[in-house]
Amino acid sequence: MAVGVKTELKGAVEYSRQLTSLIPSKNPKIRAVGLRALALEVQTVSAREKIKRGGKGAPLKSKLTSRTGTGRRSIRTDFSRLPGQSAVGTDLRYMAAHEKGGAFSVKASTVSAHTRTKAFGKTVKPFKVPKYKRKAYTLNLPKRPFIEPAVDQVVPSRAQQIFLRAWEKLGAAK
């Protein structure tokens, strides 16, 4: 996730510390398994519940809508810093702008000549579009978070269960 936004699951670390302090030898493994499972659940909730599918019509004011699914599919987990931390985020610049709110700049570009068969979502008689230059512009996007609300939903309600399952899975509860 070089560009974009990511959220550390720091709130979950407290649950991990409580459980792993009981069995110090299993500490890194329990934390790694628990944080991995928690991050994957946050990723799922972000993509499936916090972004409205099939955004036909005008965008909603408070919730991000998705027409193509590219933004939902861009939500990824980063386990490179396990066993201590995991992160959930996106590498798409515009999705980061939606999460935090603010300006999003689009660079000028040249669009190649092509044949168009659809216009405004409807099939039309094929017509040629000549090469043209697209001007640079800036969009001011309202804050429509999708990762932070997923963290706020998942960590308090599921973190304890997830870390207990990791603890049991690794045989620490025996």
**What is the 3-state secondary structure of 77-124?**
EECCCCCCCCEEEECCHHHHHHHHCEEEEECCEEECCEEEEEECCEEE
* Domain range list for the chain: 5-101+142-169, 104-140
Q: How far, in Å, CA of 63 to CA of 98, rounded?
A: 10
Q: One digit per residue, pLDDT tens: the chain, 174 residues?
A: 433 445 555 555 565 565 555 554 556 777 788 888 888 998 999 988 888 887 677 777 778 888 788 888 999 888 887 667 788 888 888 888 888 888 888 899 999 999 999 888 789 999 999 999 999 999 898 888 898 898 888 888 888 888 788 878 876 555
Q: Quick one: which of 29, 171, 7, 146 has its CA closest to 78? A: 7
Is the entire prediction scored with pTM above 0.85? Answer: no
Under DSSP, the state recorded for 21 is T
